[in-house]
């Protein structure tokens, strides 16, 4: 991990592979903060399905090395749970795998391209990234087969973390790869999705009756996490209602807000972006409708004392 003498790991624990069910693996990257996501993979003798890549070239190469250390089979199919760069920047390193995602994911990736987020986040060593958008898209659901194990991909049904959230569900093993519909230990982030829609997404995730949830960030968990997420979204909605009643903007409202137990989550500045989204919805904006994301993120930087956001990618 520490090639070339650079201190790339920021003192973080190294990524780890966890076999959550026979042949079904979670790739967990501590500490789960900005751009440090989880991935996964399902292994059969004749090929592998991977779930998401990583934010930087270095992290994705380490992920694919870990996959190769488990099985010599090729990665035939890559699933993107949504369009965000931490889950898709490394797509190109799986070439010639088929990349499959929701149709909005491809559209947004082509629209935004590779982003380096200068001035918003602390600088990261992104590597030589190349855009590799999904080559197969779907609108509702599709099944993949890994040997004789079925992996169901389901669009969650509406805006939540983004407008293109897909879960990978392994029914025979009751394992749910949730993407960023679940942050475990980190502050949820719905500025590009919907607060209201996040409740619907949680309801939908509950219907799978999973035993294991592989979140988009943070340690492997169980459906008990859904209660935590709901509590956070309710907190955001309540704070937005108070802000609206007193005519306070999202940044000022966030500054005055006592995060309570949610202060223990990482990346707490996301409260500002989430309030932008919640206030838009209180004003009648539809789930996933357009808001000024640049302004929302600018307010997160302001909340952070005007400093770029902590990024250990």
Cβ-based nearer residue to Zn ion, 8 or 82: 82
Nearest distance in Å: CB 71, Zn ion: 27
Residue 36 in contact with residue 52, Cβ under 8 Å?
no
Binding mask 183-212 for Zn ion (x = CB under 5 A): ------------------------------
Cβ-based nearer residue to Zn ion, 180 or 269: 180
Longest dimension (CA), the chain: 61
Nearest distance in Å: CB 275, Zn ion: 18
Find the Cα–Cα–Cα–Cα dihedral 283, 286, 291, 297, rounded to 10°.
Answer: 90
Q: Is 84 in the site for Zn ion (CB under 5 A)?
A: yes
Rg (CA), the chain: 19
Binding mask 125-164 for Zn ion (x = CB under 5 A): ----------------------------------------
Question: Which listed range, 52-60, 179-187, 258-266, 288-296, lies at the site for Zn ion (CB under 5 A)?
Answer: 179-187
Binding mask 101-130 for Zn ion (x = CB under 5 A): ------------------------------
Q: Would you call 227 exposed, middle or buried from its count of C-beta atoms within 10 A (0-12, 13-18, 19+)? A: exposed
**Stretch (H or E) spanning 59:** helix 57-70
Distance of alpha carbon 75 from alpha carbon 140, whole angstroms: 24
Taking CB under 5 A as the criterion, which residues in 214-273 touch Zn ion? Answer: none
Residues interacting with Zn ion, by CB under 5 A? 84, 180
């Amino acid at each position: 991990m520490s090639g070339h003498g650079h201190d790339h790991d920021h003192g973080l624990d190294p990524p780890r592979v966890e076999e959550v069910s026979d042949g079904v693996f979670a790739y967990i990257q501590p500490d789960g903060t900005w751009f440090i996501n989880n991935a996964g993979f399902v292994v059969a003798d004749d090929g592998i399905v991977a779930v998401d890549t990583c934010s930087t070239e270095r992290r994705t190469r380490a992920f694919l090395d870990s996959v190769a250390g488990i099985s010599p089979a090729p990665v035939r199919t890559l699933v993107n749970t949504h369009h965000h760069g931490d889950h898709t920047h490394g797509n190109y390193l799986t070439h010639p795998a088929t990349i499959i995602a929701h149709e909005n994911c491809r559209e947004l990736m082509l629209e935004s391209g590779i982003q380096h987020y200068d001035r918003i986040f602390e600088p990261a060593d992104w590597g030589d990234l190349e855009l590799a958008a999904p080559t197969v898209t779907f609108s509702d659901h599709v099944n993949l087969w890994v040997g004789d194990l079925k992996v169901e991909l389901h669009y969650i049904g509406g805006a939540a973390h983004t407008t293109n959230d897909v879960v990978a569900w392994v029914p025979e093993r009751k394992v749910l790869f949730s993407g960023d519909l679940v942050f475990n230990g980190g502050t949820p982030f719905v500025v590009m999705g919907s607060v209201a829609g996040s409740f619907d997404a949680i309801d939908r995730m509950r219907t799978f009756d999973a035993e294991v949830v592989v979140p988009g960030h943070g340690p492997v968990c169980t459906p008990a996490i859904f209660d935590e997420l709901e509590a956070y979204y309710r907190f955001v909605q309540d704070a937005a209602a108070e802000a609206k009643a007193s005519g306070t903007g999202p940044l000022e409202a966030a500054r005055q807000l006592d995060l309570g137990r949610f202060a223990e989550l990482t990346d707490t500045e996301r409260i500002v972006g989430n309030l932008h989204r919640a206030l838009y919805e209180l004003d009648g904006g539809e789930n996933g409708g357009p808001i000024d994301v640049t302004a929302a993120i600018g307010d997160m930087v302001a909340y952070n004392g005007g400093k770029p956001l902590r990024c250990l990618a």
